[in-house]
Amino acid sequence: MSVGIIGAGAFGTALGLSLARKGPVDLWARDAEQVAAMRDTREHAKHLPGVPLPGTLRPSADFDHTAKNDILLLAVPMQQLRRVVSDHAEILTGKTLVACCKGVELQSGLGAAAVIADLLPDARIALLTGPSFATDVARGLPTALTLACADEALGQVLQRDLTTTNLRLYRTSDVIGAELGGALKNVIAIACGAVIGAGLGDSARAALLTRGYAEMQRMAIARGARPETLAGLSGLGDLVLTCTSDHSRNYRLGLSLGRGEAFDPSITVEGAATARAVAQEAARSGLDMPITHAVVGLLDTDLTINDAMADLLSRPLKEE
């Protein structure tokens, strides 16, 4: 089946590069100048400099042309997903749409697949998530991802069609678990970056990563996810990658917070809005999400990193 990608940022372009090894892929960007530059230079200079774009990857500023493909991957930032889908709802109705965003929508508390379902009840929806830096995917390095789809038959088709020589896709029908694993790991990565940035040490990071994983499970299970999904690529796998690598933008935001440095607000950091959305839901439902609350406190500058750690360390002692 033919593939089109909506969103020519780092990840959309990287997925396009990988999939274009199997056949033609249309890649839509809203910015016609960016499309012209990609066509002329055969490079995505801003996000993937030095990686040549093959002729089978076809940048386009024509949404409707790209949307004619059988499978559409949506690779825009989470907080922009509703706008992109609703702006093009007519042409997207009934299509096979694979959300590639990681986050929880601030206004609704929904994950990526749920936002699409909210807008397009007739769409055939799946989610592609898991540990994968765009630079690795673009360079053809080995990567394993999770393809989540409630419709098992469609999930099998997508798993086959979106697997490439360097992208190996595992399949699950637990869309909520996959969605929340990919979203919540970004919040914990900000926390881990902050402790490393503040010089609090690798042991503190290991504690946050592990207790953060418990927090991710708590929220995901409360929303109906299966625990084993959180233990897979979309949860634990992506948590480990994002909490331990300077390549992660979420982790790097945390490093800046810990060091008291400014961070470029134009960089896509999904964990910031997701932390706020999750903290709001936790407050409503009474779920215990102390690390998420600490991250919101750091982002809002209500807390210093030392206050946040002191709060976490002084919580009542409990069983693990």
Positions marked catalytic: 185
Q: Least distance to ligand NAD from the beta carbon of 139, Å?
A: 12
The answer for residues whose C-beta is within 8 angstroms of residue 318's C-beta and 6 or more apart is none
DSSP letter at 308 equals: H
Per-position DSSP letters for 215-272, written without gaps between them: HHHHHHHHTT--HHHHTSIIIIIHHHHHHH-TT-HHHHHHHHHHHT----TTS--HHH
7 binds ligand NAD (CB under 6 A): yes
The entry of ligand G3P, ligand NAD, none near residue 18 (CB within 5 to 8 angstroms by kind) is none
Q: Which is nearer to ligand G3P, 1 or 267 (CB)?
A: 267
* Sheet-wide strand order for 167-172: 57-60, 25-28, 3-6, 71-74, 96-99, 124-129, 143-148, 167-172
Judged by CB under 6 A, the stretch of 54-62, 75-83, 213-221, 299-307 that binds ligand NAD is: 75-83
The binding site for ligand G3P (CB under 6 A) comprises 102, 131-133, 186, 189, 238, 241-242, 248-250, 270
Residues in 258-287 at the binding interface with ligand NAD, rule: CB under 6 A = 268, 270
Nearer to ligand NAD, 5 or 198 (CB): 5
Retrieve residue 200's tokens. Answer: 């609090």
Rule CB under 6 A: say whether 11 interacts with ligand NAD.
Answer: yes
The residues in 108-147 that bind ligand NAD, with binding defined as CB under 6 A, are: 132-134
Closest CA to 17 of 143, 123, 110, 118: 143
Nearer to ligand NAD, 229 or 268 (CB): 268
Confirm whether residue 133 is marked as ligand binding: no
What letter represents residue 59's amino acid?
P
Is residue 139 marked as binding?
no
Minimum distance from CB of 56 to ligand G3P (Å)?
Answer: 25
Q: Identify residues 15-34 at the interface with ligand NAD (CB under 6 A).
A: 29-30
First CA to last CA across the chain, in angstroms?
A: 47
Would you report the helix, strand and coil content of the chain in percent, each value rounded to 5? 50, 15, 35
130 in a labelled binding site: yes
275: CB partners within 8 A, 6+ apart: 187, 190, 292, 295, 296, 299
Q: Is 198 annotated as a binding residue?
A: no
CB of 95 to ligand G3P, least distance (A): 24
Site string for ligand NAD, 232-261 (x = CB under 6 A): ------------------------------
The three-point CA angle 245-247-251 to 5° equals 60
Whether 7 has a binding-site annotation, put simply, is: yes
Q: Rounded to whole angstroms, how far apart are CA atoms 73 and 167?
A: 15
Residues 40-59 that bind ligand NAD (CB under 6 A): 47
Decide if 208 contacts 191 (C-beta within 8 A): yes
Consult the annotation and say whether 155 binds a ligand. Answer: no
In whole angstroms, the minimum distance from the beta carbon of 171 to ligand NAD comes to: 18
Residue 238 beta carbon to ligand G3P: minimum distance, rounded to whole angstroms: 5
Q: Provide the b/e sequence for 106-124 (b: ≥16 CB within 10 Å).
A: beeebbbbbbbbebbeebb
Query: Beta partners for 168?
Result: 144
Minimum separation from the CB atom of position 101 to ligand NAD (A): 3
Known binding-site positions for sn-glycerol 3-phosphate: 102, 130, 132, 185, 238, 248-250
* Contacts with ligand NAD, residue ranges (CB under 6 A): 7-12, 29-30, 47, 75-78, 80, 83-84, 100-103, 132-134, 268, 270
Known binding-site positions for NAD(+): 7-12, 134, 249
